[in-house]
Amino acid sequence: MSDMSQTHGAETQSPPSGPVLAADGRPLKHSLNRALRRQKMRALMLIAPLLIFILITFIAPIADMLFRSVENQIVEDTLPRTVAVLGDWDPEADDLPPPAAFAGLYRDLFIAAEEKTHTRLGSRLNYETTGISSLFRKSGRSMDDVGEEIVDTIEATDPIWEEPATWAALAESAGSALPDFSNVWADFARVVRADGDDPAEENPWEVLHVSLAEDLRAGAAAEYDGPLKAELGQLTQALAGVAPVDYVAAMEDVDEGWSDPAVWRTIRTYAPRLTSGYFLNAVDMQLTDQGVAQQPEDQRLYLMLFQRTLIMSLTITLATILLGYPVAWLLANLPMRVSNILMILVLLPFWTSLLVRTSAWKVLLQQQGVINDLLVWIGIIADDNRLVLINNATGTIIAMTHILLPFMILPLYSVMQTIPPTYLRAAKSLGANDWTAFWRVYFPQSVPGIGAGSILVFILAIGYYITPELVGGTTGVFISNRIAYHISTSLNWGLAAALGTILLALVLLLYWVYDKLVGIDNVKLG
Amino acid sequence: MSALPAYASPVQRVWYYAFRVIVGLIFFFLIAPILVIIPLSFNAEDFFTYTPGMLALDPEAYSLKHYRDFFSNSDWQQAMWNSLAIAPSATVLSVGLGTLAAIGLSQSHVPFRRAIMAILISPMIVPLIISAAGMYFFYSRVGLQGTYVGVVLAHAALGIPFVIITVTATLVGFDRSLTRAAANLGADPVRTFFKVQMPLILPGVISGGLFAFITSFDEVVVVLFVGSASQKTLPWQMFIGLREQISPTILAVATLLVAISILLLATVELLRRRSERLRGITPQ
């Protein structure tokens, strides 16, 4: 509408020289540009709601999955003090990390146990080294036994140390004079507040006593200036008679696992906030402190699963070509009226719920199912020798070939429809026999259809989950089933995300090929 | 090979009929599994195979008990009502947003058209298990996992590519001079849209809507992860039933679903023909 007026203006005003002007006196070029801009804006305004919707409901989840496949904040978030010290540890030189790491671990693990996040970290690290999960769980239970003597001494010195308010008042003005104490207090206050409680009314954790004792032993009472200065001096004297906590011995006392270098190496290897560990696991490798290594023989699984997924998808694709080609040929060469009716036989399965078709195959393929009954009745197989057609790769291949066959027939049909039948007749009149005419003239022209159908079927097949899950047993399942297993059963979301990312990359690569060969815009429905 | 010529040799004659038999067998492979389960759903026994009574067409061997079970079992009823609530809501969302965007996309000047199209089509391209994984992670971060809203949003996203594809395909044949004529006669853009453009692209919108509906209605992977037990839909209930204890009620449900797909298929086909006729494209 606006562009109409522009053209109109251009026709009426045609000054002999200077820029062409529109009806409102502006240069025509500007007006046209403005109209074009407005048109673009209007198009974008119409698209924007949907684009935002898809970005939030779909693209963000995919991005989240990609992020989760490398995300590894849990180690540093749960054990910040330990991780900071472990950076300086050289596992080649010393078996165990320096005592400072044990001191950090004591504080981190105490706080984590109060927050109940230590078990989550335990299960995370257990994916890498088995046994860590129970180590964390057991240690979490006995963290408050460490430094018992110090706690008793502090509380015996002055009854005010049994009052939560005393600790809160000390924390108010502790600042940099009591570094260890304020550091732990910050976490104490955070955790207590997260529960909706007031830190000034909550009994102080044992780790606060221990850290305060560390500060006082370092001579903090002299530097400290504020309330309770006298009491702190008193405490310093009282604590002089108590041996400092030997963190290495204390942690080993809690659980012998802490004297195992393998545990510490795992923590150190997985300390960074981003890790390639999940991706390495997804291809049967693992990250160790010596670099990347292969998984032990008995834990290799995923390369085999990827390979199986690809081989079975390829088999299914070949089966759909073999079955789909004759059908498409007949449909393309029959009169429209007949082929339209036969097309229903292709479209009905296409429109029927995936679960209906899968349950049909489950019923048909069972040992006591229709196919076995029929074969026994005919007498091809003995009653006690029924075929095992389900819960294995055969079941998956049969059911998925059936389910994906329409996706092969439809593109093949639309390509074959465009091949003029006169070409075949011409070939034959030039002396070719039926086979030569088909193979040299017709088949090459139908190859684009085979290509389009194959890529489509293959892409759909490698991502299938429901059918392999229901008819595949253990030998007929795909990588998708493993992804689902890691999401809902083993809860190893990072590995699920890494497997998903690899699968997604594979599918996108195939779609890129499909786009080059066929063009995504040529996807037709119905 | 549309017809066998009179001069065909015996070999050609044999091949002509053999080929038809082969294709017939493939058609049988395509359609038989769906047809086989229909009589089985009327089985009076709890078996998954034809009983001697059924083969002898004994009326005693047939019963509606699995259908009665479907309509009286609270699990199946909850699943049915969930399906009937979730699928239409998702369809309305995807048709509403999708139609607007398809009209925007079919304008002559759209910046980043290819990129936008790729994003909008992506839910159809990404394998369902990956969409489900991503949505599960993300929706549990924002508190939508295990809610009706979450499932509806997820299904709407999955249905949108179908709406976009069908509606843009209809708009390709849309004669732009019609909207110009309407504007010339004094109609404002909104009136033009509802009085001129909408009636003409309606078949495309409806078949896009049907695709979106069936996508949501049949979808199980995403709802398994994004939903929880209280959002279970019919496919969810079927999937659980098939995985755990397979009950013949599933076959009754399957038969009902086949009936629904026949209905939908017929509707889409009719709409396609009507739209082709309206746009002056006669089927060859």
Same domain, B182 and B161: yes
**A 392-451: CB under 8 A from B:** 402, 405-406, 421, 434
B66 contacts B251 by C-beta, under 8 angstroms: yes
Is the model's pLDDT at A1 over the cut of 50? no
Nearest CA in chain B to A33: B109
Across residues A243-254, what is the average pLDDT? 85
Across residues B2-14, what is the average pLDDT? 81
Is the model's pLDDT at B39 over the cut of 80? yes
Mutation target vs B (from A45, A55, A58; most B CBs, 10 A cutoff): A58
Same domain, B103 and B228: yes
Place of tokens 């692209």: B201
CA distance linking residue B233 with residue B76, whole number of Å: 9
Same domain, B157 and B249: yes
User: Which of the residue ranges A198-202, A248-252, B96-100 has the most confident prediction, judged by mean pLDDT?
Assistant: B96-100
A59-78: string of b/e by CB count within 10 Å (b at 16+)?
bbbbebbbebbbbbebbeeb
Q: Which residues does residue A71 pair with via DSSP β-bridges, in sequence order? A: A274
> Which band of pLDDT confidence, cut at 50, 70 and 90, is reported for residue B170?
confident
- Which structural domain range is residue B14 located in? 10-61
Same domain, B56 and B79: no
pLDDT at B159: 93
- Alpha-carbon distance A51 to nearest alpha carbon in chain B (angstroms): 7
Place of tokens 């690809």: A310
Same domain, B54 and B176: no
pLDDT at A219: 78
Across residues B170-181, what is the average pLDDT? 83
CA distance linking residue A47 with residue B101, whole number of Å: 4
Contacts of A9 (CB under 8 A, 6+ apart): A21, A22, A23, A24, A28, A31
Which chain A residues touch B15 with a CB distance below 8 Å? 434
Is the model's pLDDT at A525 over the cut of 70? no
Q: Are the beta carbons of B19 and A330 separated by less than 8 Å?
A: yes
- Alpha-carbon distance B154 to nearest alpha carbon in chain A (angstroms): 6
Q: Which residues does residue A288 pair with via DSSP β-bridges, in sequence order? A: A291
Same domain, B159 and B249: yes
Q: Which residues does residue A291 pair with via DSSP β-bridges, in sequence order? A: A288
> Which band of pLDDT confidence, cut at 50, 70 and 90, is reported for residue A6?
very low
Based on the structure, what is the number of domains in chain B?
Answer: 2
CA distance linking residue B32 with residue A354, whole number of Å: 15
pLDDT at B76: 92
Q: Which among B2, B98, B262 has the least Cβ separation from residue A348?
A: B262
Nearest CA in chain B to A421: B1
Does A490 touch chain B if contact means CB atoms closer than 8 Å? no
Tell how far CA A133 is from the center of its chain: 22
3-state secondary structure of A415: helix
Q: Which residues does residue A337 pair with via DSSP β-bridges, in sequence order? A: none
Closest to B165 (Cα-Cα) out of B205, B136, B217: B205
A321 vs A170 pLDDT, higher one: A321
Q: Are the beta carbons of A357 and B1 separated by less than 8 Å?
A: no
Q: Which among A359, A524, A526 has the least Cβ separation from residue B238?
A: A359
Beta-strand relationship, A285-288 and A291-294? antiparallel
Contacts of A162 (CB under 8 A, 6+ apart): A155
Is the model's pLDDT at A9 over the cut of 70? no
Across residues B38-54, what is the average pLDDT? 80
CA distance linking residue B52 with residue B62, whole number of Å: 11
3-state SS track over A234-258? HHHHHHHCCCCCCHHHHHHHHCHHH
Is the model's pLDDT at A522 over the cut of 60? no
Residue A43 burial class via C-beta count within 10 angstroms: exposed 0-12, middle 13-18, buried 19 and up: buried
CA distance linking residue B243 with residue B78, whole number of Å: 19
> Which band of pLDDT confidence, cut at 50, 70 and 90, is reported for residue B278?
low
**A 221-280: CB under 8 A from B:** none
Same domain, B169 and B45: no
Tell how far CA B88 is from the center of its chain: 12
A452 contacts A514 by C-beta, under 8 angstroms: yes
Which chain A residues touch B123 with a CB distance below 8 Å? 54, 58
Same domain, B260 and B193: yes
Closest to A313 (Cα-Cα) out of A97, A526, A480, A489: A480
> Which band of pLDDT confidence, cut at 50, 70 and 90, is reported for residue B280?
low
Mutation target vs A (from B129, B176, B238, B273; most A CBs, 10 A cutoff): B129
**Residue A86 in tokens:** 């472990």
Beta carbons within 10 angstroms of residue B154's beta carbon: 32
B75 contacts B237 by C-beta, under 8 angstroms: yes
**A 171-230: CB under 8 A from B:** none
Q: Which amino acid is at B264?
A: L
CA distance linking residue A170 with residue A182, whole number of Å: 9
B121 contacts A520 by C-beta, under 8 angstroms: yes
Which chain B residues touch A356 with a CB distance below 8 Å? 34, 37, 254, 257-258, 261
> Which band of pLDDT confidence, cut at 50, 70 and 90, is reported for residue A16?
low
Beta carbons within 10 angstroms of residue B58's beta carbon: 12
CA distance linking residue A463 with residue B129, whole number of Å: 7
Nearest CA in chain B to A361: B33
- The CATH number of the domain where B118 resides is what? 1.10.3720.10
Contacts of A303 (CB under 8 A, 6+ apart): A283, A284
Q: Which among B34, B40, B139 has the least Cβ separation from residue A348?
A: B34
CA distance linking residue A244 with residue A101, whole number of Å: 16
Residue-by-residue DSSP string for A438-473: IIIIIHHHHHHHHHHHHHHHHHHHHT--HHHHHH-T
Contacts of B210 (CB under 8 A, 6+ apart): B264, B267, B268
Is the model's pLDDT at A19 over the cut of 50? yes
- Alpha-carbon distance B6 to nearest alpha carbon in chain A (angstroms): 15
A497 contacts B129 by C-beta, under 8 angstroms: no
Q: Are the beta carbons of B49 and A363 separated by less than 8 Å?
A: yes
Q: Where are the beta strands (DSSP E) in A224-381?
A: 285-288, 291-294
3-state secondary structure of A286: strand
Which chain A residues touch B183 with a CB distance below 8 Å? 1
Q: Are the beta carbons of A463 and B166 separated by less than 8 Å?
A: no
Domain A302-522 has CATH 3.40.309.10: no
Same domain, B105 and B201: yes
Mutation target vs B (from A2, A39, A359; most B CBs, 10 A cutoff): A359
Phi, psi of A465 (to 5 degrees): -125, -50
- Alpha-carbon distance B84 to nearest alpha carbon in chain A (angstroms): 15
CA distance linking residue A246 with residue A115, whole number of Å: 25
The percent of residues above 70 in pLDDT, for chain A, comes to: 95
CA distance linking residue A394 with residue A388, whole number of Å: 9
Same domain, B56 and B81: no
Average pLDDT of chain A is: 86
Same domain, B97 and B47: no
Q: Which residues does residue A286 pair with via DSSP β-bridges, in sequence order? A: A293
Phi, psi of A335 (to 5 degrees): -60, 145
Across residues A330-336, what is the average pLDDT? 90
CA distance linking residue B235 with residue A379, whole number of Å: 37
Q: Which among B136, B254, B268 has the least Cβ separation from residue A526?
A: B268
> Which band of pLDDT confidence, cut at 50, 70 and 90, is reported for residue A519?
low
Across residues A107-124, what is the average pLDDT? 88
Closest to B47 (Cα-Cα) out of B56, B58, B37: B37
pLDDT at A3: 44
pLDDT tens digits, A71-105: 888 888 889 888 888 888 887 777 888 888 888 88
Across residues A98-116, what is the average pLDDT? 88
B200 contacts B174 by C-beta, under 8 angstroms: yes
Which chain B residues touch A330 with a CB distance below 8 Å? 19-20, 23
Q: According to DSSP H, which parts of A289-366 are helical?
A: 302-333, 336-351, 354-365
Closest to A351 (Cα-Cα) out of B263, B160, B261: B261
Q: Are the beta carbons of B129 and A504 separated by less than 8 Å?
A: no
Q: Which residues does residue A21 pair with via DSSP β-bridges, in sequence order? A: A27
CA distance linking residue A295 with residue A316, whole number of Å: 31
Q: Which among A46, A61, A358 has the least Cβ separation from residue B103?
A: A46
Across residues A166-189, what is the average pLDDT? 84
Across residues A228-233, what is the average pLDDT? 80
Which chain A residues touch B139 with a CB distance below 8 Å? 61
Which chain A residues touch B42 with a CB distance below 8 Å? none
Same domain, B195 and B252: yes
CA distance linking residue B116 with residue B120, whole number of Å: 6
Q: Are the beta carbons of B242 and A333 separated by less than 8 Å?
A: no
Contacts of A195 (CB under 8 A, 6+ apart): none
Q: Which amino acid is at A183?
A: N
Q: Which residues does residue B43 pair with via DSSP β-bridges, in sequence order? A: B62
3-state secondary structure of A288: strand
Q: Which among A46, A60, A500 has the least Cβ separation from residue B130?
A: A500
Q: Are the beta carbons of A57 and B97 separated by less than 8 Å?
A: no
Does A505 touch chain B if contact means CB atoms closer than 8 Å? no
User: Between A and B, how many residue pairs show a Cβ–Cβ distance under 8 A?
Assistant: 280
A97 contacts A89 by C-beta, under 8 angstroms: yes
Q: Are the beta carbons of A348 and B265 separated by less than 8 Å?
A: yes
> Which band of pLDDT confidence, cut at 50, 70 and 90, is reported for residue A2?
very low
Across residues B222-226, what is the average pLDDT? 93
pLDDT at A304: 92
3-state secondary structure of A172: helix
- What's the number of CA atoms in the CB half-sphere (13 Å) around residue A433? 4
Residue A497 burial class via C-beta count within 10 angstroms: exposed 0-12, middle 13-18, buried 19 and up: buried
Does A360 touch chain B if contact means CB atoms closer than 8 Å? yes
Is the model's pLDDT at A4 over the cut of 50? no
A402 contacts A349 by C-beta, under 8 angstroms: yes
pLDDT at B282: 46
Which chain A residues touch B246 with a CB distance below 8 Å? 359, 362
Q: What proportions of chain B, in percent to the nearest 5, are helix, strand and coil?
A: 75, 0, 25
Q: Which among B40, B136, B162 has the least Cβ separation from residue A363?
A: B40
CA dihedral (B253, B254, B258, B261) positive or negative: positive
Average pLDDT of chain B is: 87
> Which band of pLDDT confidence, cut at 50, 70 and 90, is reported for residue B281?
low
Does A482 touch chain B if contact means CB atoms closer than 8 Å? no
Q: Which among B98, B109, B126 has the least Cβ separation from residue A50?
A: B98
Q: Which amino acid is at A473?
A: G
Q: Are the beta carbons of B104 and A46 separated by less than 8 Å?
A: yes
**Residue B268 in tokens:** 């889409």
Q: Are the beta carbons of B235 and A353 separated by less than 8 Å?
A: yes
pLDDT at A520: 59
> Which band of pLDDT confidence, cut at 50, 70 and 90, is reported for residue B153?
very high
